[in-house]
Chain A
Amino acid sequence: MTMYAILETNNNPSETIRSVLKNMLSEKLVDVVLVPFKTEYSSLPMPTLIADPEKMLQAQPLAPAAPFNAARQAASVLRYPTGKKVAVVLRTCEIRALIELAKLKQCVLDEAILIGFDCMGRIENDSYLEMAAQEEDITTSFYADSSMQDRITGICKACEYFQPYGADLTICLLGMPVMEKIGLMAGTEAGENIIKSLGLSTVEQPEGREVAANSLLQKRTEARDKLFSETSEKIKDIEKFQKTIANCLNCYNCRNACPVCYCKECVFLTDVFAHEPEVLQRRAAKRGAVKLPADTTMFHMTRLAHMSHACVGCGQCSSVCPSSIPVADIFRTVSAKVQELYNYVPGRDISESIPYLVFEEESSNGK
């Protein structure tokens, strides 16, 4: 039976989670917690590593904002085992990306406690800041008033992976009267131990989660399919694709923001693409004209070739694009086909190999 505890929220679910995290620290169940945190300087919560339980007051574990996909920050804390227990509170797309990074040996999850929550999506940074200027506690309003949930990004609306995979603990919001109570569900033995050590009384998992999950899944899947068909239309031939990315500046923000663009050094920053003047002149001569910076199309397609199996659809690449290119729409759409080909869901299961690392022996001629 899944171990499940009910937590009263008294109209403030963030506070409830804060006190759980705080207790985990003060009871020394974990040594540090990585969690979104509102600094004294801005409303936008930043991933922050907390050691002092008192600091937990500023944590925003459920804030509907994510200035970036924090998988990378989590991976930097978990780069190698340190003998300390590290809890990380992450959105589903962040946990999935973190699992992909673990497969690439860029972090080790053995000492990590992964805490996820049913993700209702995130709001873009600028809108979030605007809203934060109007009201003190956006997080509570966001869960209290479902119309606010319409303000999440388009890519979040199309995300069917809102339930955490592989988390030690899941903060259950689906099907719960969030302003009264939420659930804390263990997904692993480590998670169970935490629930036990915190002395939380466990109950049978309440019904309603599955129903709520299914109806959200249906809504999200419909939005996803619409996104796929509209995006396919925008890229379906090279002319359309060129129009879609025509304003790209080769700033590589999208690549920087991407949690699963895993290369330590991007080839686009190496000499391979630092062309000699003669090369550019020759290309201009050959094709009549060459747009600079060159290799914009090459950049996007190479990035796809490298990481499309692992795209978690977090949307950060679109969020950071200065030219409003629907990068995430394109990457999710194209990646979906690649992932379907390999029957691979990034971050689904840490024991599942990266498709490019498994090659079957077969005899047919090349096909």
Chain B
Amino acid sequence: MSDEFEPKIIALVCNWCTYTAADLAGTSRLAYSANVRIIRLMCTGMIDPKYILKALLDGADGVFIGGCHPGDCHYINGNLKAKKRISGISKIVEQFGFDPERLRLRWIGASEGPEFQRNMNEFFESIKALGSTPVRDRMIL
């Protein structure tokens, strides 16, 4: 293996839309970066800020959050709650030196397999360009 930077990316995706899109990308054999580790949740509205903070403090280079398009959330407005919450978390982590680009929220519908692939590749590229997380190789109290 080369020393090339291999980002660790966590994708928190909702069961009903973005995970289904990921599944569709898989069955359609749409390849995307293998650095993405998917965690399926029932809805983005159940993303506790701790999930994001833990990922960042444990060394994730990027955290992607994918949910249903507004109006399509299976729990009515979980995605809008997530959006509000994530905007705050992003403001917070930014002040401790985490580039807000390390957090990305996108809406990807169940039928949008290619969209999922494109988003994963784009996010991978942008994290790659940002470089390693500031917490790698550092003791986090």
Binding site for B on A (CB under 8 A): 232, 235-242, 245-246, 248, 267, 272, 287-289, 291, 296-298, 301-302, 304-306, 308-309, 333-334, 337-338, 341-342, 355-356, 358-363, 365-367
Q: How far is the CA of A304 from the CA of B71 in the complex (A)?
A: 29
Q: Do A302 and B50 form a contact, CB below 8 Å, given A309-B88, A361-B70?
A: yes
Q: How far is the CA of A248 from the CA of B69 in the complex (A)?
A: 42
Closest B residue to A289 by beta carbon equals B139
Tell me how far the C-beta of A206 lies from the nearest C-beta in chain B, rounded to whole angstroms. Answer: 42
- A337→B53 contact, CB < 8 A: no
B140 near A: Cβ within 8 Å? yes
Tell me how far the C-beta of A285 lies from the nearest C-beta in chain B, rounded to whole angstroms. Answer: 13
- A304→B97 contact, CB < 8 A: no
Q: How far is the CA of A356 from the CA of B49 in the complex (A)?
A: 12
Q: Could you list 21 examples of A-B contacts with CB < 8 Å?
A: A235-B95, A237-B97, A238-B134, A238-B135, A238-B138, A242-B139, A289-B139, A301-B93, A302-B50, A305-B50, A305-B85, A305-B92, A334-B92, A338-B92, A356-B81, A358-B84, A359-B77, A359-B83, A365-B107, A366-B83, A367-B105
Q: How far is the CA of A362 from the CA of B92 in the complex (A)?
A: 23
Q: How far is the CA of A333 from the CA of B93 in the complex (A)?
A: 13
- Tell me if A's interface is mostly helix, strand, loop or mixed: helix
Q: How far is the CA of A232 from the CA of B77 in the complex (A)?
A: 34
- A337→B95 contact, CB < 8 A: yes
Q: Do A366 and B92 form a contact, CB below 8 Å, given A306-B49, A359-B80?
A: no
B128 cross-chain contacts in A, Cβ below 8 A: none
State how many residues of chain B have any CB contact under 8 Å with chain A.
37
Which of B90-141 touch A at CB < 8 Å?
91-98, 104-107, 134-135, 138-141
Closest A residue to B94 by beta carbon equals A337
Q: How far is the CA of A365 from the CA of B89 in the complex (A)?
A: 18
B49 cross-chain contacts in A, Cβ below 8 A: 302, 305-306
B84 cross-chain contacts in A, Cβ below 8 A: 355-356, 358-359
Q: Which of A237, A287, A356 sits near B96, CB closer than 8 Å?
A: A237
Q: How far is the CA of A267 from the CA of B49 in the complex (A)?
A: 12
- A308→B50 contact, CB < 8 A: no
Q: Do A236 and B91 form a contact, CB below 8 Å, given A297-B140, A361-B80, A367-B105?
A: no
Q: How far is the CA of A342 from the CA of B141 in the complex (A)?
A: 30
B42 near A: Cβ within 8 Å? no
B57 near A: Cβ within 8 Å? yes
Q: Do A301 and B96 form a contact, CB below 8 Å, given A338-B91, A366-B106?
A: yes
Q: Do A298 and B88 form a contact, CB below 8 Å, given A235-B96, A363-B70?
A: no
Tell me how far the C-beta of A332 lies from the nearest C-beta in chain B, rounded to whole angstroms. Answer: 12
Binding site for A on B (CB under 8 A): 49-50, 53-54, 57, 59, 65, 69-71, 77, 80-81, 83-85, 87-89, 91-98, 104-107, 134-135, 138-141
Q: How far is the CA of A367 from the CA of B89 in the complex (A)?
A: 14
Among B104, B134, B139, B140, the one with the most A-chain Cβ atoms within 10 Å of its Cβ is B140
Q: Which of A272, A296, A304, A341 sits near B87, CB closer than 8 Å?
A: A341
A291 cross-chain contacts in B, Cβ below 8 A: 139, 141
- B57→A241 contact, CB < 8 A: no
Q: How far is the CA of A297 from the CA of B134 in the complex (A)?
A: 14
Q: How far is the CA of A68 from the CA of B140 in the complex (A)?
A: 31
Q: Which of B69, B89, B95 sits near A305, CB closer than 8 Å?
A: B89
- A356→B71 contact, CB < 8 A: no
B93 cross-chain contacts in A, Cβ below 8 A: 301
Identify 6 new A-B residue pairs, CB closer than 8 A, beyond the known A355-B84, A365-B107: A236-B97, A248-B141, A298-B57, A305-B53, A341-B88, A356-B81
Q: Which of A267, A308, A356, A360 sits near B92, CB closer than 8 Å?
A: A308
Q: Which of B53, B59, B94, B95 sits near A298, CB closer than 8 Å?
A: B53
- B53→A302 contact, CB < 8 A: yes
Q: How far is the CA of A135 from the CA of B105 in the complex (A)?
A: 59
Tell me how far the C-beta of A62 lies from the nearest C-beta in chain B, rounded to whole angstroms. Answer: 36
Closest A residue to B56 by beta carbon equals A301
Q: Which of B54, B65, B96, B106 sits near A238, CB closer than 8 Å?
A: B96
- B71→A361 contact, CB < 8 A: yes
